């Protein structure tokens, strides 16, 4: 744990001494703020009792989509830059286990993502000034975003560990994240192909969006929590495997 903590502090410091943290945090808050202002203006004119709760549920879904866009920027340098600069060889030959390296980098990126989400907490506070939204879906919704962020970060680390090019890592992470997001929109049926429904249910289960919906409704379903934790764990395992294989190249 000491090595993991040292790498965690190193990586988190690297985010804030470079423009990366600000390059991601500022546009994230700007885009989220724009959507919040637009949604707030619409629901303020709607004037029906459930408007504040629907406003926050919609914002949480919107922020989840924005995370798919910005997470690749957070993770693209984690391993790709180390490989390009030659410091990866020094890191993996030092008395530090590969799993400690991966966990340290993962926790640093995840911490920055949680900071980004925490910076949006004024939104529900502001809504409470003018309405009475249900706090349950807000709390569980933010929990869902934190778990979703863990999956996206782990996916980005996996992509970054497989290449030396940061742009390739970012594009790969974005492509995979977007694919895992849109597969929930697969058509319900294709003609009379009965087996398609079974195949679709298995594919749609991998959708990151589907497992977030219950969180935004104020419900914590264990299978959704298990999915997010398992997804992140598998991606981190593959990342460790990739880093270990690099030791023998």
pLDDT at residue 118 in the model: 94
pLDDT at residue 247 in the model: 61
Q: Is the dihedral of CA 117, 122, 127, 132 positive or negative?
A: positive
Averages of pLDDT over each 10 residues, the chain, 249 residues? 85 87 90 88 74 84 91 87 71 75 92 94 86 86 94 93 88 91 72 65 82 88 92 93 72
199, 153, 218, 58 alpha-carbon torsion, rounded to 10°: -90
What does the DSSP 8-state code read for residue 209?
A: T
9 neighbors 106 (Cβ within 8 angstroms): no
Q: Which helix (H) or strand (E) holds 221?
A: none
Plot region of 191 (φ>0 → left; ψ -120 to 50 → alpha; else → beta) = left
pLDDT at residue 82 in the model: 76
74 neighbors 109 (Cβ within 8 angstroms): yes
Global pTM reads 0.89
**DSSP assignment string, 100-140:** HHHHHHHHHHHHHHHHHHHTTTHHHHHHHHH----HHHHHH
What is d(CA 131, CA 147) in angstroms, rounded to the nearest whole number?
28
- Number of CB atoms found within 10 A of residue 13's CB: 11
Q: Is 215 exposed, middle or buried (0-12, 13-18, 19+ CB in 10 A)?
A: buried
The structure tokens 């030092």 sit at 94
Q: Spell out a b/e string for 67-91, using b for 16 or more CB atoms within 10 Å of the CB, else e.
A: bbebbbbbbbbbbbbbbeeeebeee
- Number of CB atoms found within 10 A of residue 249's CB: 5
pLDDT at residue 159 in the model: 92
Plot region of 47 (φ>0 → left; ψ -120 to 50 → alpha; else → beta) = left
pLDDT at residue 184 in the model: 79
What does the DSSP 8-state code read for residue 164?
A: S
pLDDT at residue 244 in the model: 80
118 neighbors 38 (Cβ within 8 angstroms): no
- Number of CB atoms found within 10 A of residue 54's CB: 16
The structure tokens 């979703």 sit at 148
């Amino acid at each position: 744990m000491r090595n993991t903590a040292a790498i965690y502090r190193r990586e988190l410091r690297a985010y804030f001494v470079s423009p990366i943290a600000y390059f991601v945090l500022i546009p994230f808050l700007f885009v989220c703020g724009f959507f919040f202002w637009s949604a707030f203006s619409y629901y303020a004119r709607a004037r029906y009792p459930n408007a504040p709760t629907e406003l926050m549920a919609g914002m949480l879904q919107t922020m989840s989509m924005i995370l798919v866009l910005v997470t690749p920027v957070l993770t693209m340098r984690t391993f790709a830059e180390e490989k390009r600069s030659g410091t990866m060889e020094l890191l993996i030959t030092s008395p530090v286990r590969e799993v400690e390296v991966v966990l340290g980098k993962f926790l640093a990126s995840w911490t920055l993502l949680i900071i980004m989400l925490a910076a949006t907490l004024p939104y529900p506070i502001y809504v409470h000034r003018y309405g009475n939204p249900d706090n349950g879906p807000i709390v569980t919704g933010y929990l869902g975003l934190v778990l979703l962020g863990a999956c996206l970060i782990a996916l980005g680390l996996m992509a970054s560990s497989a290449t030396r090019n940061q742009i390739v890592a970012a594009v790969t992470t974005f492509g995979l994240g977007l694919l895992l997001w849109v597969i929930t929109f697969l058509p319900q049926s294709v003609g009379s192909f009965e087996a398609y429904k079974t195949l679709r249910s298995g594919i749609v289960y991998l959708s990151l969006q589907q497992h977030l919906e219950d969180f935004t409704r104020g419900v914590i379903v264990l299978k959704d929590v298990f999915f997010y934790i398992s997804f992140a764990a598998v991606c981190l395992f593959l990342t460790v495997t990739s880093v270990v294989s690099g030791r023998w190249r």
